[in-house]
Amino acid sequence: MLIDGHGRTVDYLRVSVTERCNFRCQYCMPEKPFSWVPKEELLTYEELFEFIKVGIDEGIKKVRITGGEPLLREGLENFVEMISSYKNDIDLALTTNGFLLEHAAGKLKDAGLRRINISLDSLKEDVAAKIAQKNVLKKVLKGIETAHKVGLKIKINCVPMKGINDTELVDILNFCKEKGFPIRFIEYMENSHAKNTAKGLNSEEIQELIRKSYSFQKQEREGSSPSQNYKLDDGYVFGIIEPHKDDFCSTCNRIRLTASGVLIPCLYYEDSKSIKEAIKEGNIKKAAAILKEVLANKPEKNKWSSEDSNETSTRAFYETGG
Ligand SMILES: Nc1nc2c(ncn2[C@@H]2O[C@H](COP(=O)(O)OP(=O)(O)OP(=O)(O)O)[C@@H](O)[C@H]2O)c(=O)[nH]1
Ligand SMILES: C[S@@+](CC[C@H](N)C(=O)[O-])C[C@H]1O[C@@H](n2cnc3c(N)ncnc32)[C@H](O)[C@@H]1O
Ligand code: SF4
Ligand code: SF4
């Protein structure tokens, strides 16, 4: 079992397979970064898998593949297959913007993927295009539809932004409710890579907008999920991911691995340690020791929740995978 320096059990590994993306979301990567990590510096799928095996052997029960946009990296289904066939009861999931999903969903399902979380920030073509800085909506909706058809379990993520998509939160919730997909609204996490005019809605503001159409009850916090859930009177449950709340991090169970082999203990901070050399040397003991050292030093909580409402992370979401 993996326990961090604050006594929290860590059983969830998020693996980013690329920092590259085909969208330029205002809250994440509004401009193409000055440079990408060169392809030759990335760990191969086989090398990432070597580390995932170390994690699973030490107590990881849930692996999420993310990015950048993970579907941009060729052969993702082979990577999914490696992980799912190593331990078939692993909770294996993917987070994607959905743009390339129509043609990938079937292959991913066949390879052993079970769950998929898809970003959907608007149901209006022009608003979606404004957020992603690309005409994306039709292809994303097609991707969602296909993933549903092939039997992947779907959750939708939406980042409410002031003056951009805040008028359609109930429409997006209704869309998800009709399809039977849980939705989580995510509070925008201020970071220096996002557009500096980007302003998110906080949990109270999101609830206020939904309350205009529905009454709902706050639910007991479930395990280590970052989502605070709310139940509508008809039983449909939606979530809000509230990183600006002080208690958000107390049940943190996760650690992140980037495509270039960097282990990141917390989404907010720059602290990290590379396992690349250990994996390239085939030194599994050393990789396991680095994992434990990183966990021993895992921060207690982020700074978005501090009194100072101007706290901004310098970590790029597209690098850590969110
Ligand atoms: N601050 C913070 N935000 C997180 C953390 N984990 C997830 N989030 C936010 O929630 C978003 C959605 O996460 P997903 O990639 O869908 O994964 P998940 O919420 O763990 O998904 P489930 O396994 O379905 O519960 C992330 O991109 C982040 O914006 C975390 O540890 N800290
Ligand atoms: C970094 S993306 C990677 C996977 C994929 N490209 C996608 O968009 O789903 C993972 C998640 O991070 C969220 N995200 C990115 N930047 C964020 C920010 N500044 N605040 C809150 N969530 C953010 C996105 O909404 C998405 O749900
Ligand atoms: S949120 Fe996802 S889709 Fe949007 S820019 Fe970031 S990585 Fe790309
Ligand atoms: S902000 Fe850091 S400590 Fe808090 S839940 Fe996320 S990764 Fe864990």
Full DSSP string of 167-222:
GGHHHHHHHHHHHT--EEEEPPPPBTTS-TT--BPPHHHHHHHHHTT--EEEPPP-
CA distance 113 to 92: 6
Task: Verify whether ligand 3 is closer than 6 Å to residue 28 (CB atom).
Answer: yes
How far, in Å, is the centroid of ligand 4 from the Cα of 300?
A: 8
Q: Which atom of ligand 3 is nearest to the CA of 97?
A: 3
Please report the DSSP string for 223-267 in residue order: TT-SEEEEEETTS-EEEEE-TTSGGGGGG--EEEE-TTSEEES-S
Q: Which residues contact 40 (CB under 8 A, 6 or more apart)?
A: none
Q: Which residues contact 315 (CB under 8 A, 6 or more apart)?
A: 191, 264, 267, 268, 269, 270
Q: Which atom of ligand 1 is nearest to the CA of 266?
A: 31
CATH class of 12-320: alpha beta
Task: Verify whether ligand 1 is closer than 6 Å to residue 322 (CB atom).
Answer: yes
Residue nearest to atom 8 of ligand 2 (CA): 97
Task: Verify whether ligand 4 is closer than 6 Å to residue 266 (CB atom).
Answer: yes
Q: Which pTM value belongs to this model?
A: 0.97
Residue nearest to atom 7 of ligand 4 (CA): 266
pLDDT tens-digit readout, 249-258? 999 999 999 9
CA distance 291 to 293: 6
Task: Verify whether ligand 4 is closer than 6 Å to residue 249 (CB atom).
Answer: yes
**SS3 label, residue 115:** strand
Q: Which atom of ligand 2 is nearest to the CA of 321?
A: 1
Q: Which of 71-80, 226-235, 286-295, 306-315 has the lowest mean pLDDT?
A: 306-315
pLDDT tens-digit readout, 87-106? 889 999 999 999 999 999 99
How far, in Å, is the centroid of ligand 1 from the Cα of 54?
A: 22
Q: Which atom of ligand 3 is nearest to the CA of 69?
A: 7
Q: Please, what's the b/e burial string for 35-52 (b: 16 or more CB within 10 A of its CB; e: otherwise)?
A: eebeeeebbebebbbbbb
- 303, 221, 205, 316: CA torsion to nearest 10: 40
Please tell me whether 119 is known to bind a ligand: yes
User: Strand 262-264 vs strand 254-257: parallel, antiparallel, or unpaired?
Assistant: antiparallel
Task: Verify whether ligand 2 is closer than 6 Å to residue 243 (CB atom).
Answer: no
Task: Verify whether ligand 4 is closer than 6 Å to residue 302 (CB atom).
Answer: yes
ipTM: 0.97
Task: Verify whether ligand 4 is closer than 6 Å to residue 268 (CB atom).
Answer: yes
How far, in Å, is the centroid of ligand 3 from the Cα of 274?
A: 24
Selection from 36, 2, 38 nearest residue 21 by Cα: 36
**SS3 label, residue 274:** strand
Most informative mutation of 28, 32, 117, 165 for ligand 3 (most atoms within 8 A of CB) = 28
pLDDT tens-digit readout, 153-211? 999 999 999 999 999 999 999 999 999 999 999 999 999 999 888 899 999 999 999 99
Task: Verify whether ligand 3 is closer than 6 Å to residue 137 (CB atom).
Answer: no
Q: Which atom of ligand 1 is nearest to the CA of 227?
A: 19
What is the reported pLDDT for 246?
Answer: 79
Is the pLDDT at 298 greater than 90, yes or no? yes
pLDDT cut 70: percent of the chain above it = 99
Residue nearest to atom 22 of ligand 2 (CA): 188
pLDDT confidence band for 15 (50 / 70 / 90): very high
How far, in Å, is the centroid of ligand 4 from the Cα of 294?
A: 14
Q: Which ligand is nearest to the CA of 121?
A: 2
